[in-house]
Amino acid sequence: ARFPQLNAHYDVKREVITRYEAVHLGIATQTDRGLCVPVLRHAEAMDLWQAASEMRRITEAARNNCISRDELAGSTFTVTSLGRMGGLAATPIINHPEVGILGINKAADRPAVYHGQIAIRRILNVSGSFDHRVVDGADGATFVLRDGPCCHYADEDAIEPLWKGQRFPLQACISGWSM
C-alpha cells in the first residue's frame, strides 16, 4: 500500500498505532435512525464493480435496518459524502480509532478558470481529515490530491471519477486533527 499510515488505528490510552494490511472501508451512511458506518471488508481485493455491488448491499441493509452488528464494526478508514445533503465543502470528522477520513462533496456547476477562460465547470470538492499524531500532513495532502481511492488524474486540472466517467476539476480541503 502506498499510504499504510492511513489504514490504521490509534489507541490513545495505550499510545499504540496499529497498521492494517486489509482495507476495511467504512461507508458513512445516513439512515432514518441517524448516521451509521457499514464496513466494506477487504476493499483492496475487489475490483470497482465488486466494491460497488457490496457497497450497495451494505448501505441498503443499513438503511433498511437489517444489517448485522459485525457489518458495522472494524473499519480501518472511512469515506463519507455530503453530496446528497447539498454540501459543497466540509471537514469530515474522523471515526475514532481510525486516523483518517475522506469526504466527497456535491458536484455542482460553478464558474472556474479553465484554459485561461472563465467557464461553467462541474466542480467536485474532496476533503480529508487526518490525525497528525499518525499521518504527516504532506502524506494526507498527497493522498487526497493525487492518490485518493475514488479517482485518478485525467489531466493536470481535472480528475476522472471511475464510477461515472465524467471529468471534474478538483478542489481539495486538507484538515488535520491533533491534540
Active-site residue list: 132, 136
Can you tell me the distance from the alpha carbon of 106 to that of 2, in angstroms, rounded to the nearest whole number?
27
DSSP string covering 113-149, please? Answer: EETTEEEEEEEEEEEEEEETTTS-HHHHHHHHHH--T
- The phi and psi torsions of 13 (rounded to 5 degrees) equal -65, -40
